[in-house]
Every structure is written in C-alpha cells, then in structure tokens.
Structure 1
Amino acid sequence: MTNPHSGAQARRFVLPVVLSGVFVQLVSVTVMQVAVLDVQRDLGAGPGEGQLVLAGYTLTYACSLILSARLGDRYGYRRMFVTGMAVFTIAAIGSAAAPEAWLLVAGRLVQGVGSGIMAPQILSIIQSALPTSRRPAALSAYGATMAAASLAGPLLGGVLIQLDPLGLGWRAAMLLTVPVGLVALLLSPSLPSVRTGRTGGRIDSIGAGLSLVGTALLVLPLTVGRDAGWPMWTWASLAAAVAVLAGFAVSQRRAADPLVHPAALADPSTRWGLGVVLVFNAGVPSFTLLLSMHLQGAQGWSPMQTALTITPYAVGALGGSGVANVLGKRFGAWTLAASAVAMGIVSIAVAATIDDPATRWVLWLVLGLGGVAFGMFTASAFTQIIARVRAEAAVSVSGLLPTAQQLGGTLGVALAGVAYSAPATSSGDAMWHAMTYEAAVFVLAAAFAVRLVGRRHETVHHGRPTANAA
C-alpha cells in the first residue's frame, strides 16, 4: 500500500532540487570572475587562455539551450535535468584537477554543455510539476536563488583563494558546486517523471544544427573578440551568425515539428518580454565583472577584498528578491521598469565613488541599493513573462528565456569591455566610460519594460489563455 506522506515528502524536494541547478550555474560563472587571475598565475596561462576559461563555459551553455528544451520535451524533463547535472558535476571535478590550462578550458566547455542541458528543464519542471497557485512563488524563488548564488560565488571564492586550504587555491573555489550537484543527484528521484508538451515526433535535426552553429558563430567572437583585438575573423563570424540564425528562423516556419513552437513568438507580449530579459542582462553580468576587474586590476585588490566590497550588492539582491513577488503582484511589469531605472542610477553612482576611499561607505550603500534592484527584477521577470505565455508555447519559452539571458550577458560583457578599454586618461575615466554604457543599457531595458506594460493591457483586454491559466 502506498504511503501518501511519502509522496508529499518527495514533492517538497522538487523545488530545492531544480533550483540547485540555477545555483550551480551562476556560482560557476561568478567564482571564476574572482579566480581567473590566480588561474593564469598558477597554470601559466596567457590572457587568451584566461579569457577562454570564462568564455568557454558561456559558449557551450548558450549553444545548447534551444535544443535542450526540445530534448526535455522528447525524453523527459527529469531525465535531461539529471543528465545535465551529472555532466556539470563531473566536469567541475575534472576542471578543478586540471594540470594545464587547455585541460581547464576543455572542462569548462563540458561544464557549459551540462549547464545548458539543465537550464530549460528547470522552468519546464516548475511549469508542469507545480500547481498554478505555487508557480509565481516558485519563479520568485528562482530569482532569489540567483541572488544567493551571486553572493556565494564571489564571496566564498574569494575566501577560499585567500585562505588556500590544502594548497588548493582556485581549485577549491572550482569545487564549490560539487557538493550541491551530488546532493541534487541523490534527491533527483523526487522529481516528477511525467512530462508535457510535444513528447512525440522526431527532433528537427536541421533546426538543431542551424541553432547550434548560429549561436556558436555569434557567441565566440563576442566572448574573445575584444581581447583578440577584433580581427577580421570575428566580424566574418558575426556576419555568418546573422545568416545562419536567419536560416534557422526560416527553417522553424517550414519544419513539421520545429524546435521552437510557432506560438512561442507569435504574441508580441512574449517578444517584448524576451527583449526585456536580453537587454537587462546586457548590463547585469558586465556590471559585476567590471567591478571585479577594476578593483583587482586598476586598484590591485585581493580576491577577498574585492568579494567583501561587492557583498552589499549580493545581500541587497537577496532582499530585493524577497519583496519582488509582492511588488510584482501589485505593480506588474512596472516593477521591472523601476528596477532597471534604479540600476541605471546606481551605475553612475558607482563610477563617482569607486576610486575615492573617503566615499567607500557611499559605494557600499549604492551597491546595496543596486542589489535590491537586481533582485527585484530577476525574481519577478520570469513570473511577469511566463504569465503572458500561451500554454502550448510554455516549453519553448523555457528554452528561449535562458537563451535571451545568456546572449544578453555575453553581448553586454563584450560591449562593456570595449567601453572600459576605450582611450582614457586614467582608470577612473575608463570606469566612467563603462558605467555610462551600463546606465544606457538599463534605461533601454526600462523602455522595453514599459512597452511590456502596454502589451499586458492588450493581453488582458483580449483575454488570451496563458501558461498559468492552463
């Protein structure tokens, strides 16, 4: 006889298990932002190899998202989540043990694949396994987990590098995600095996090939182009990416069973929502990366000093994510617009205070306020967007959202790096250039969010069915 309490206990683990995937994905990025200089010194890696340690993960992660969403539809969300987490965790162990730079880069490439396999399944499991009433809170927890990871990555990474336990240094920081991954794998039987969406049919091989190649051609020059001096091949790659991704869009209209459901981008509300996520994330990862680069590079701070300085931002993000659900219910997409405007103001304030020791307390306060804005946006964005998605397109959007997030971050890091590297009379002027870019991006994100507010009114007026209403 089945014990009803055992099923209830198993269901309690569903959200923590899938959110562990969000946690390890972001920690894996942020921890390397503070560890990359130590990696270069320890392994004798040049600037190009150091960049690939960061960029390799981004490249394979971004390339695999759209296909992974369809694979979850075909083979089951739990199976693909477990596969991704296993690949990610094994690659993390291998990366931490890498004796040479090229082996570390290879490990990071594999880690990115594992992360890309996991990411779409997280949103799909939330949509299919949780009742409608619990989804907004679950999506807010999604954002809160990102905030927690943004705190844990640089802080714990900086502490471990500084303390150097067992002489491991940056390798100890690389192993941060391994215990989380192992526990998630141990508890993975609690995830539901049921799946929804297009479970039958063949995988669109032409679309898969075009999406993988097109995304790789786009992401690779954006991640390594600045450090390489933007040689001709980077521009050729970007031009080829436009052509290949255009071919992918055409193939999706003609395919009998496309990777992206036709309804996914049919609604302008969804398109504006994806645009908000892409543009906002063209500012967020580059914002924290610029802080780390400037404090460790221009000011010569240690990883621990850098991590402690950035900590108010991460703590504020936890606070912002805690109130996001309440504010989102009351103000809707206006919450996104207000958060983006606040981040723009914070960017200018950071440039004005970061190089003056006398205003260090102001910098901490400003970063804390920026963290609140980031937490509010991240914890409410997916709720606001998925609430507008038609039920039949929910799985495809589960792949498109992290894709927009990742592509925005990649583009933003490239453009912010160009702004920071522009001719300047001092490092302070360079920071002003970069933070002016950041402010402009966040203002643009706010404009997209305001447009999303207008689409929301039209959606309510026409009474279209959404994923949450399914």
Structure 2
Amino acid sequence: MDKHPLRWWALAVAVLAVFVDMVDNQIVTVALPTIQQHLGTGEAALQWISAGYALGFALTLITGGRLGDRYGRKALFVTGMAIFTASSLVAGIAPNVGVLIAARVAQGIGSGLMVPQVLSFIHAEFDDTERPKAMALFAAAFPLGGLAGPLLGGVLTEANLFESGWRAIFLVNLPIGLLALVGALVAMPRRPRAAMHRIDQGGLALLTAGLFAIFYPLVQGRELGWPAWTIALLVAGVLVLGLFAYQQRRLAQNGGEPLIAPELLKYRSLVAGQAVMFCVNTAVGVFFVLTLHLQLGLGFSPLHAALTFVPATVGIVVGNVLAMRMAARIGRAFTAAGIVVLLVSVAAMAGLVVWRGTDLGSLALALPAVGLGLGMGTVLGSLMGASLSEVPARLAGSASGLVNTTMQLATATGIALFGTVFFGRLHGGDFTAATAGTMLVSVGVLVVALALTAALPKVSSASKVPEFAG
C-alpha cells in the first residue's frame, strides 16, 4: 500500500483527538462543586456527571473498532468526533443536570467511536521504521492530557470567561473539535474497508442492560433510601451479565462474532491482569472524593485543587517509564511493589486528612500524591504488558479492547462506589470523617488487588507493546 502523503498531518489530528479525550475525562472533576452550586444538583448527580463519560466510553469501545472495519476508519473517526463536539456544545449550554448527564454520556460514546480508529490508523499507514515515532507521539497524549485536564478545568472555571463559569470547560471543546473535524476530512486517507464484521447487537444490548442495572442503584440507591427494588435491580444486573457471558460463548460456538471472544478466558495473564487492573482503577476513583473534600470541605478554589494533583501526574509519568524498562523482567513482583506504593500513599493521605483537619494544604499532600501517581504508573504500565503477553496476534485487537474497556468500567465503578460511601458517611457535614473513611475503603480494594497479583505470571513470557484506546 502506498504511503499517504498527508499521513503525519493526519496523525497530528488523531493525536489531538486522543489528547482532547484525556482532557475531557479529567476536566470536569475540579468543576463539580461549582456545577452543584449553579444547577442545584443532588449528590448522586455529581457521580453521574463524572462517571457517565467513562460508562459511555466503555460501552462503545469494544464495538468501535469493528465499526471502523465495517464502515472505514475515517468515517468512524469523523462520526465520533462530530458526536463528541456536538455533545460538548449541549453540555456547555445544558439548562439542567439531566441534560448535562446525557451530554456527558454522549461525549463518552463519541470518544468510544473515535479513539479506537487511531491505533488502526497508525498500524495501517506507517511502516516499521516510522511506527515507533508515531506510537511515541500517540502515547504522549495520555500523560499530557491527564495533566492538562484538571489544570484547564480549574483555570476555566475560575476565570469565568464571558460569564460562562463552569460551562467553559465543555465549550472549549468546540473550536478544537471543529479543527479536528476539518483536519480529518482533509488529511486522513479513505482506504478500502478491511472486513465486513457483524455487530453483535444482542450481546451489546445485554452488556448495556446489565451494567445499567448495576450502576443505577449503586449511584442512586443511597439517595433513595435503598428501597427493595434497587437491591432487586442489582441482583438482576449480575444475572444479566451472566446471561451475556453465556450468549457470548454460544455465539462463538455457532461461528458468530461475539463482542468478547470467550477464547480469551484461556489466557491466565489476561484474566488475572484484568482482575488486578479493575481493582486498582476502581481504587484510584477515590480522587473524586478527595476533590470534593478539598473544595467543599476545605474551601479550595477549583484551580488550587487542580494544582494539588500535579505531583500525582509527575509520578504517573515516572512510573510509566519504570514499567517500560523493568516490568517485563521482574514480572508480578514489580506489579505487587507498585500496588504497595499506591496503598501506602492512599493510607498516608487518609492519615493526613485526619491529622491536619482543616489545616490540610497542598504541600502536605505533595509527597503522597507523587507516591500515588508513581504507584498508578508502575501498576497500570506493567499490567498492560502482562495482560497481553500470552495473547496470540490474531486476538490482540479483541484483547486490547477488553483491557481498555476494563479500565473505563473500573473508573465508573470507583466514582459510583466511593461517591456512595462518601455521601453516606457525610453526616452533619463532617468532611474529615467521611473522606478518611472512604479512603480506607480504597485501601481495602487495593489489598484485594495485591492478593490477586499472586495469579499473575511470575515473569512475562513476552514483551508486547500495549494497545491503548483511551
């Protein structure tokens, strides 16, 4: 296949899209108290605003790649970016919290359609000599977006540009989205479709219904007083997910194309890696609570709260570098060590919340924040390689989709779980007790993750480049 003359310009557009996705995943966190004040939202709504994006993203990731094969990478990228940009406009002008939550879910869906096309584009358009540089540019979007998201959210919320307040964090996506759309239309090549994959609509419906049946009562149950139907819905959600697993296996046996290939369950490194990854990503959802504590409990401004998290981002970058150099050689011991660092850091933060009380400042949190980021970077970086180490090349795409979906679902689960625990303990406005107690629950989840590392391979059998999807 001939090299497309505008492939590097097209890559710049694709990397910009990934950067915006990472920014939008993080940007809303520091603005939540301001949104609550202006829209008069309930506590559960704050969880939906933050988790809705990750949930929409997760539900679309698995099918996004196959839709790209069916209708073309360029078409899906443009469609996803158009949905993302339009829903950003809706979020920016949302008259009430219901519209805002729906727009956040739509943003996630747009990203889920768009982001999987980027890796496919890199692998298809760049040869072996160019691909490492292209992958490096792609990978750089993740830490940069993670750093820029909270900072940009704090700056825009506090700046109150044109009296827009918190709405600016969504409206800023409009010029970027339009630029990316024009760039994609001009620079991205339109290639012949690779395959005509069928979309497992039945599996997608079961997966969506099962996850909704679990997440809705988990987020709303406390606010509603846990009526019997919320418990019944939780149980039904688990049963529906069991039915989904059965349907996927039957579809594969009959020669169909399931969303998640049951064959992947044969690979211990993948299954164990996903279990550990889910626990770790769930545990770090406690950042949602810490942000509320800093602003609502201690009176931090949005920008002050955002700056408090900068050391964690530095730790993530260092942890990723260490994982790339050491994880494959050391194996599960490296992952376990990273979880210990993460666990100790969260416990230290909980201790500081109690010890310093209303005198808690950003400087006191700096060292455990670095440790938290370092633990996240080492653990997630090592698990990416370990999870894919035994998977054959023909299943790499399916496995990559599963890995990234696990990360997004865990993010949504962490926000739902810790938000419920935090608001449930917030009696009489005692933020110190509520925040410290919630962080100890996070420590408990990390203890489970540490125990699960025993199921990981001692040393990775291969050193594979992880395929990210946002």
- SS in structure 1 of the partner of residue 110 of structure 2: helix
- Alignment partners' CA distance in 2, 1:244 and 1:387: 31
The match for 2:49 among 37, 49, 53 is 53
Q: Would you say the 8 A contact 1:143–1:378 is kept in 2? A: no
Instruction: Give CA deviations for 1:400-419 in whole Å, capped at 9, x if unaligned.
Output: 12221122222222332344
- Alignment partners' CA distance in 1, 2:292 and 2:360: 21
**What is residue 313 of structure 2 aligned with on the other side?**
314
- Alignment partners' CA distance in 1, 2:264 and 2:417: 29
Change (3 A) 1:253 1:342: same
Displacement of 1:379: 4.0
- Alignment partners' CA distance in 2, 1:195 and 1:449: 43
Mapped pair 1:238 → 2:234? yes
Mapped pair 1:452 → 2:448? no
**What is residue 411 of structure 1 aligned with on the other side?**
413
Q: Would you say the 8 A contact 1:76–1:195 is kept in 2? A: yes
What RMSD in Å do the two structures reach over aligned CA positions?
Answer: 3.4
Mapped pair 1:104 → 2:100? yes
Displacement of 1:344: 0.4
Change (3 A) 1:365 1:389: same
Change (3 A) 1:125 1:387: farther
Displacement of 1:168: 1.1
**What is residue 291 of structure 1 aligned with on the other side?**
290
**What is residue 339 of structure 1 aligned with on the other side?**
338
**What is residue 30 of structure 2 aligned with on the other side?**
34
**What is residue 384 of structure 1 aligned with on the other side?**
386
Displacement of 1:213: 1.9
Displacement of 1:308: 1.8
Displacement of 1:132: 7.0
Q: Would you say the 8 A contact 2:273–2:387 is kept in 1? A: yes
The match for 1:396 among 395, 398, 405 is 398
- Alignment partners' CA distance in 1, 2:90 and 2:157: 18
Displacement of 1:81: 2.8
Identify which range, 403-412 or 137-146, moves more after superposition: 137-146
1:64-463 equivalent positions in 2, closer than 5 A: 64-125=60-121, 144-188=140-184, 190=187, 199-255=195-251, 256-257=255-256, 258-284=258-284, 286-354=285-353, 356=356, 357=359, 361-421=363-423, 423=425, 426-454=430-458
- Alignment partners' CA distance in 2, 1:196 and 1:324: 36
> TM-score, with normalisation over the residues of structure 1?
0.84
Q: Would you say the 8 A contact 1:222–1:410 is kept in 2? A: no
Displacement of 1:146: 3.2
Change (3 A) 1:340 1:155: same
Displacement of 1:130: 5.7
- Alignment partners' CA distance in 1, 2:453 and 2:343: 14
Aligned length: 456
Displacement of 1:347: 0.3
Instruction: Give CA deviations for 1:96-154 in whole Å, capped at 9, x if unaligned.
Output: 12233333233223212212223444455556556678888877776653332232122
- Alignment partners' CA distance in 2, 1:39 and 1:423: 22
Displacement of 1:332: 4.3
Change (3 A) 1:109 1:362: closer
Displacement of 1:440: 2.4
Q: Would you say the 8 A contact 1:136–1:325 is kept in 2? A: no
Identity %, equivalent residues: 35
Q: Would you say the 8 A contact 2:72–2:191 is kept in 1? A: yes
Q: Would you say the 8 A contact 1:96–1:171 is kept in 2? A: yes
Structure 2: which amino acid aligns with 1:320?
A: G
Instruction: Give CA deviations for 1:354-398 in whole Å, capped at 9, x if unaligned.
Output: 352377534212212222222333444323323432222222223
Change (3 A) 1:158 1:331: same
- SS in structure 2 of the partner of residue 301 of structure 1: coil
Q: Would you say the 8 A contact 1:120–1:402 is kept in 2? A: no
Change (3 A) 1:56 1:423: closer
Q: Would you say the 8 A contact 1:325–1:380 is kept in 2? A: yes
Q: Would you say the 8 A contact 2:271–2:387 is kept in 1? A: no
Structure 2: which amino acid aligns with 1:10?
A: R
Displacement of 1:252: 1.5
Displacement of 1:50: 4.0
- Alignment partners' CA distance in 2, 1:107 and 1:467: 30
- Alignment partners' CA distance in 2, 1:139 and 1:379: 15
- Alignment partners' CA distance in 2, 1:195 and 1:393: 22
The runs of 5 or more residues in structure 2 that have no matched partner are none
- Alignment partners' CA distance in 1, 2:110 and 2:70: 18
Displacement of 1:211: 2.1
Change (3 A) 1:274 1:123: farther
Instruction: Give CA deviations for 1:413-455 in whole Å, capped at 9, x if unaligned.
Output: 233234434558953333332222222222332333442233x
Displacement of 1:203: 2.4
- Alignment partners' CA distance in 2, 1:191 and 1:338: 43
- Alignment partners' CA distance in 1, 2:386 and 2:287: 25
> TM-score, with normalisation over the residues of structure 2?
0.84
Q: Would you say the 8 A contact 1:353–1:359 is kept in 2? A: no
Q: Would you say the 8 A contact 1:275–1:448 is kept in 2? A: yes
